[in-house]
Chain A
Amino acid sequence: MKSAITWMQKTAAAAAIAAFGISGANAQDKMPSGEPIKVGILHSLSGTMAISETTLKDAMLMLIDEQNKKGGVLGRPLEAVVVDPASDWPLFAEKARELISQEKVSVVFGCWTSVSRKSVLPVFKELDSILFYPVQYEGEESERNVFYTGAAPNQQAIPAVDYLMNEGVERWVLEGTDYVYPRTTNKILEAYLKAKGVAAEDIKVNYTPFGFSDWQTEVSAIKEFGSTGKKTAVVSTVNGDANVPFYKELGNQGIKATDIPVVAFSVGEEELAGIDTAPLVGHLAAWNYFQSVDTPENEAFITAWHKFIGNEERVTNDPMEAHYIGFNMWVKAVEKAGTVEPDKVIDALPGTEQANLTGGMSKMLPNHHITKPVLIGEINAEGQFDVVSETEELVPGDAWSDFLPESKKLEADWVELKCGNYDTEAKKCLGDTMAN
């Protein structure tokens, strides 16, 4: 039995190396042995966020599986420890503590909402461990123990607005769900638009509660706002379940993407899987990855994913790619540091490079964000995205937005300055004094 597994693992390892096109340096011929390295997975498997986070747990399991087939890390096998924080923010902190103190994991991949990340932050700082956070977020943060592999606002929101401006949009509706990510993002966008010369009366900001389903009034307000003759667009930070009724209402009231396009930051392939996309054709999304991107790396990733999950219909999305990049960066940093000790790995991570799935080479920056391409895609009838615009070079993630007066002067650099919020005017590190 054991020998059979070994044989299978070897074959699979060879296949995986071939499939992922990873250089032979990491791949070891000998099987991983010794005490396993534990990898924590902190994603909600029940509750409201299960819809998005369950997939990420599966993606992590796949990545760990692939890595073990390639010979593990430092010759030791990886072992996934999965916990379920059940979309309950305080429970995230408890589960994080459980992972680090009891399970003794070397690294944690997890969280989706900003509030869950904020909830686990103190735990990671106190117990000095590493968190990889894979979701686009509002920025305004850089912590020593956290590595942000999702997009900062300058890697998603701002390029999307730039694209629409190029398309001639003059009036803007910033429509969001009422919580920290949309509010901060919209604050940044409002400042950015005004800096670009958009008048205050050409910007309309509106918020709706979580899970909002009766969009009639909001959509007719958008229609009215867009009927002045100036080209209007909606920038949507509407989150999760509220999106489907929102798009349905847009379709029902006859607002087509050619009249008033909606560019969304939280709608990806996974979210579109539950909608009839015919009325949505032409609406936009800005991400750093689309399943439809045609590269050999992406093809290998999708094939591996379909094989792992046993379902050809399952889609891949941007946060999955973020975990793919983050996980491989962690592996490289551990190999470089020669240990899984968090302090050494944290120091080894900045500068680590990993090929992303869209054909570029992403790099971990000293501010613990990464470089990513920004893609703008239009929804097509198959529920996928057709890329209509792509940044020529990778965009480095900016932790502190340059468009907010309070964060303009701040800089994050954990290599030279050893500080996540260095005040470039006062020339000092604010540290935890600016806890807000």
Chain B
Amino acid sequence: MTRSIRWLLVGLAVLLFGAASASAQESPAEPGTAAAAQAAGSAATSAAGPAAIVQKFGGKQSYDETEAVIIELAASGDEAVARALRALRDGDLYWRKGDEAVFIGKRQGDDIAIFDPMTGEPAGAVPRGEMEKVRIKNSIRNAVTTALGSLTLRADNPAQRMRAADTLFSEADPEMIASLGEAIAAEEDTAVRARMQEALASATLVSDLPASEKAEAAKILAARGDRESLSMLTRFAGSTDDPVAKKAAETAIVAIQSNIAFWNQMQNVWYGLSLGSVLLLAAIGLAITFGVMGVINMAHGEMVMIGAYTTYVVQEFIRTSAPGLFEFSLLIALPLAFLASGTVGLVMERFLIRFLYGRPLETLLATFGVSLILQQAVRTIFGPSNREVGNPDFMSGAFDLRLMSVNWNRLWIIVFAMVVFLALLAVLNKTPLGLQMRAVTQNRKMAAAMGIRTPWVDAMTFALGSGIAGIAGVALSQIDNVSPNLGQGYIIDSFMVVVFGGVGNLWGTLVGAMSLGIVNKFLEPYAGAVLGKIVVLVLIILFIQKRPRGLFAQKGRFVDA
């Protein structure tokens, strides 16, 4: 199938090529362009060197024409064209309007710095208006990737060979068997060689090699054990007549299926932990203000939002004044977000909430009002649209753990949530402020009698809870929108976690957040995100009916005081 399409396209290329050369001859070529035009227009296609083929990207072309040139380049088998192909895929390939000469370009302000497409030698800079980009779309990018797969199998860089092997594995093209065999024999890097053998196996399955070799190939794919191998084996098992090969494929399919099932469960646990850590971050500040102090703070989400906007401001500042510090922007934002949200919390407590202690309904309404005011204030200052908060490199991308892909930002957020949790635990249990906080919440009058300034402790506790929400905002800015509505999405979940975990108990918040996260993620694949969330809410309602004080109920005389 692939082969016939390829031949068709080559045929098309030749046809189009004829047309292009005809028009090139008709147009009066300028003296400077004569060489390029002749090179491009020369009818002796096979004789044209790769450098001349690259020049064919110049001029206004349809996507099909561009694709034909790519196939021609791949057929040339010359690794030197890889540079031009990569530039094409990245959208960096240009042609000069004057003479349709092709260059690799890099934007430099209003100019484009141009480089030779074959050697990469700088060729000066030209104004943007004089260069035209070679238009690309996804199918062109795919064609380039395929072409590079066959071209860079013997590249010097092992990473490139690895990518080439990956591409060839997905392509499963029997025509590549011979060159794969040669590449495997020459390969010294064991990881790359293993990948090439897998590519060879995938190609063998669809080739007309003897069934015994295909059975061997099925074993290699079974060892690889991922979904792509599964679909290849399934197709093979359906098409082959040879009993031995069919048996081998079917055994492999069963093995892969159980492997995938296992890793799916692992993936769910991982996603659950990740969601749990986000819930924990959002709720942990609330565990202080609501859990310890008993203040129903509807503006808690806005504290998170302020933290996220602090991150945005810090990044903007770094972008304009010290771009080198970008990797550290989150570290710099953390204390500032703590201070910003903490200050807002302090002001709220001093001027509003302290007059409302013991009146939960009024507190609820007042803090809800504050949350609307804060949202609109941010909307007025920063505008209603989302703000871009960048991910530093260490927060971007993912790595594969067998069949599971682990996102770096999710991993770091889990780590960060645990660090915040432990730090808060230490503050509560090991510092004088923590001691006073616990004393005041357990028995306010007695604490006052012991000489503790209870209003001051209240203010500090509320500021601490708000500040923690602020640093949660720094983390959440990495995975969510930084918009005025950021906080609203988390307020319900936060209350849910704190109530479920048990009011007044940090460990309860941790266990509550993690179990809600995992239950949610196990339900989602079966019930869908909408229904999954409803089921979780119903489960929590049932649970609270049974245990009104949550997972970890506080015990003792002070509970109802």
Residues of A within 8 A of B528 (CB): 206-208
CA distance A138 to B482 in the complex (A): 29
Residue pair B398, A254 in contact (C-beta under 8 Å):
yes
Of B31-39, B228-236, B435-443, the one with at least 4 CB within 8 A of chain A: B228-236
A333 to chain B, nearest CB (A): 32
Contact code string A15-53 (vs B, CB < 8 Å = 1, else 0) = 000000000000000000000000000000110101100
Q: Complex Cα distance A41/B22, Å? A: 58
What sequence of 0s and 1s flags, for each residue 256-299 of chain A, a beta carbon within 8 Å of any chain B beta carbon? 01100100000000110111100001100000000000000000
Contacting A at CB under 8 A, from B446-505, are 479-485, 488-489
Q: Are A261 and B529 in contact (CB under 8 A)?
A: no
Interface assignment of A54: CB less than 8 Å from any CB of chain B: yes
B278's partner among A208, A214, A271 (CB-CB below 8 A) is A214
- Asked if B483 and A217 sit within 8 Å, CB to CB, the answer is no
B227 with A227: CB separation less than 8 A: yes
Contact A229 B235 (CB under 8 A): yes
Q: Are A208 and B227 in contact (CB under 8 A)?
A: no
Instruction: Tell me the B512-557 residues at the A interface (CB within 8 Å).
Output: 521, 524-525, 528-530, 533
Enumerate chain A residues within 8 angstroms of B63, measured Cβ to Cβ. 388
Q: Taking CB as reference atom, which chain B residue is nearest A209?
A: B530
Q: Which residue of chain B has its CB nearest to the CB of A376?
A: B137
Asked if B106 is at the interface of the complex by the 8 Å CB criterion, the answer is no
B274 contact from A216, A270, A276, Cβ within 8 A: A216
Choose, from A72-80, A123-131, A241-249, the stretch at the interface.
Answer: A241-249
Q: B538 → chain A, closest Cβ, in Å?
A: 15
Segment 278-316 of B: residues with Cβ below 8 Å from A: 278
B342 to chain A, nearest CB (A): 25
Once the chains bind, are A257 and B138 in contact (CB under 8 Å)? Answer: yes
The residues of A that contact B227 with a CB separation of less than 8 Å are 224, 227-228
Are B376 and A46 neighbours in the complex by a CB distance under 8 Å? yes
A245-B479, A275-B386 given as contacts; is B524 within 8 A of A217 (CB)?
Answer: yes
With A54-B384, A254-B405, A378-B137 as contacts: A209 and B533 at CB distance below 8 Å? yes
In the complex, whether B179 has a CB less than 8 A from a CB of chain A is: no
Q: Are A386 and B135 in contact (CB under 8 A)?
A: yes
Enumerate chain B residues within 8 angstroms of A257, measured Cβ to Cβ.
138, 141
Would you call A244 and B137 a contact (CB within 8 A)?
no
A46–B227 alpha-carbon span in the complex (Å)? 46
Whole-angstrom distance from the CB of B364 to the nearest CB of chain A?
Answer: 20
Chain B: interface residue count, which band? 35 or more
Q: Does A212 contact B (CB under 8 A)?
A: yes
Q: How far is the CA of A200 from the CA of B162 in the complex (A)?
A: 37
Task: Point out the residues of chain A lying under 8 angstroms from B388, CB to CB.
Answer: 273-276
A189 to B384, CA, bound (A): 32
Chain B residues, CB < 8 A from A342: none
Q: A214 to B481, alpha carbons, bound, how many Å?
A: 12
Q: Are A216 and B141 in contact (CB under 8 A)?
A: no
Query: Which of B376, B385, B407, B524 sits near A274, CB closer than 8 Å?
Result: B385
CA distance A281 to B91 in the complex (A): 10
- The interface bits of chain B over 252-285 (1 if a CB of A lies within 8 angstroms of the residue's CB, else 0) are 0000000000000001100100110010000000
Interface pair A282/B398, CB less than 8 Å apart: no
> Which of A54, A216, A224, A271 contacts B271, CB < 8 Å?
A216
B283 CB to nearest A CB, Å: 15
Asked if A274 and B379 make an inter-chain contact with CB atoms under 8 angstroms apart, the answer reads no
Min CB gap A294→B, angstroms? 12
B530 near A214: Cβ-Cβ < 8 Å: no
Report the minimum CB–CB distance from B404 to chain A (whole Å).
Answer: 9
CA distance A257 to B138 in the complex (A): 7
Are A282 and B138 in touch, CB under 8 angstroms? yes
Is A220 part of the contact surface with B, judged by Cβ < 8 Å? yes
How many angstroms between the C-alpha atoms of A273 and B480 in the bound complex?
Answer: 15
Closest to A216 in B: B271
Closest beta carbon of chain B to A48's beta carbon, Å: 6
**B138 contacts A274, C-beta separation under 8 Å:** no
The chain A residue sitting closest to B143, CB to CB, is A258
**Bound Cα distance from A51 to B481, whole angstroms:** 12
Q: Which of B142, B479, B480, B530 contacts A208 (CB 8 A)?
A: B530
**With A167-B139, A217-B271, A378-B138 in contact, do A211 and B376 touch (Cβ < 8 Å)?**
no
- Which of A50, A217, A271 is in CB contact (< 8 Å) with B521? A217
Instruction: Name the prevailing secondary structure of the B interface residues.
Output: helix
**A281 closest partner in B (C-beta):** B91
Would B232 and A274 count as touching, CB distance under 8 A?
Answer: no
Q: Are A229 and B410 within 8 A (Cβ)? A: no
B86 at the interface (CB under 8 A from A): no
Q: How would residues 218 to 248 of chain B score, 1 for a CB under 8 Å from any chain A CB and 0 otherwise?
A: 0000000011101110010000000000000
Cα distance, A218 to B267, chains bound together (Å): 12
Which residues of A lie under 8 Å from residue B124 when comparing CB positions? none
By beta carbon, the residue of chain B nearest A47 is B485
Determine the residue in chain B with the shortest Cβ distance to A231. B142
Asked if B369 CB lies within 8 Å of chain A CBs, one says no
Cα A153 to Cα B331 in complex, Å, equals: 47
Q: A178 in the interface, Cβ–Cβ < 8 Å?
A: yes
Please state if B385 and A51 are interface contacts (CB–CB under 8 Å).
yes
A241 to B482, CA, bound (A): 9
Q: Which residues of A contact B386 (CB under 8 A)?
A: 51, 241, 244, 271, 273-275
- Taken together as a complex, chains A and B put the C-alpha atoms of A270 and B384 apart, in Å, by 11
CB distance from B486 to the nearest CB of A (A): 9
Which residues does chain A contribute within 8 Å of B488, judged by CB atoms?
48, 211
Is residue A391 contacting chain B, with contact meaning CB distance below 8 A?
no
A228 touches B271 (CB 8 A): no
Closest chain B residue to A383 by CB distance?
B388
A99 to B63, CA, bound (A): 51
Instruction: Report if B145 contacts A (CB, 8 A).
Output: yes
A217's partner among B137, B376, B525 (CB-CB below 8 A) is B525
Taking the complex as formed, is A199 at the interface, i.e. its CB lies under 8 A from any CB of chain B? Answer: no
Is B444 part of the contact surface with A, judged by Cβ < 8 Å? no
CA of A281 to CA of B488, assembled, Å: 30
Interface residue? A221 (CB, 8 A)? yes
Task: Find out whether the CB atom of B384 lies under 8 angstroms from the CB atom of A213.
Answer: no
A residues within 8 A CB of B91? 281, 380-381
Inter-chain contact B481/A227, CB cutoff 8 Å: no
Measured between alpha carbons, how far is A224 from B264 in the docked complex, in Å?
10
Q: Which residues of B contact A221 (CB under 8 A)?
A: 525
**Residues A258 and B275 in contact, CB atoms below 8 Å apart:** no
Give the docked Cα–Cα distance between A45 and B380 (Å): 10
A252 close to B141 (CB less than 8 A):
no
Distance in angstroms between the alpha carbons of A178 and B390 in the assembled complex = 29
Q: Which residues of A contact B408 (CB under 8 A)?
A: 252
Partner of B141, one of A54, A253, A258: A258
> Who on chain A is nearest to B517 by CB?
A214
Residues of A within 8 A of B (CB): 45-46, 48, 50-51, 54, 167-168, 178, 206-209, 211-214, 216-218, 220-221, 224, 227-229, 241, 244-245, 248-249, 252-254, 257-258, 261, 270-271, 273-276, 281-282, 378, 380-381, 386, 388
Please give the residue numbers on chain B whose beta carbons come within 8 Å of chain A beta carbons, in ascending order: 63, 91, 135, 137-139, 141-142, 145, 226-228, 230-232, 235, 267-268, 271, 274-275, 278, 375-376, 379, 383-388, 390-391, 396-398, 405, 407-410, 479-485, 488-489, 521, 524-525, 528-530, 533
A–B pairs, 5, beta carbons within 8 Å: A228-B231, A261-B138, A282-B138, A378-B137, A388-B63
* Shortest Cβ-Cβ A-B pairs, 6 listed: A274-B386, A227-B227, A50-B384, A208-B529, A252-B407, A217-B524
Known: A220-B405, A227-B227, A258-B142. 15 other contacts (CB 8 A): A46-B379, A208-B530, A212-B529, A214-B278, A216-B407, A241-B481, A258-B141, A258-B145, A274-B386, A275-B388, A276-B388, A276-B390, A276-B391, A380-B91, A386-B137
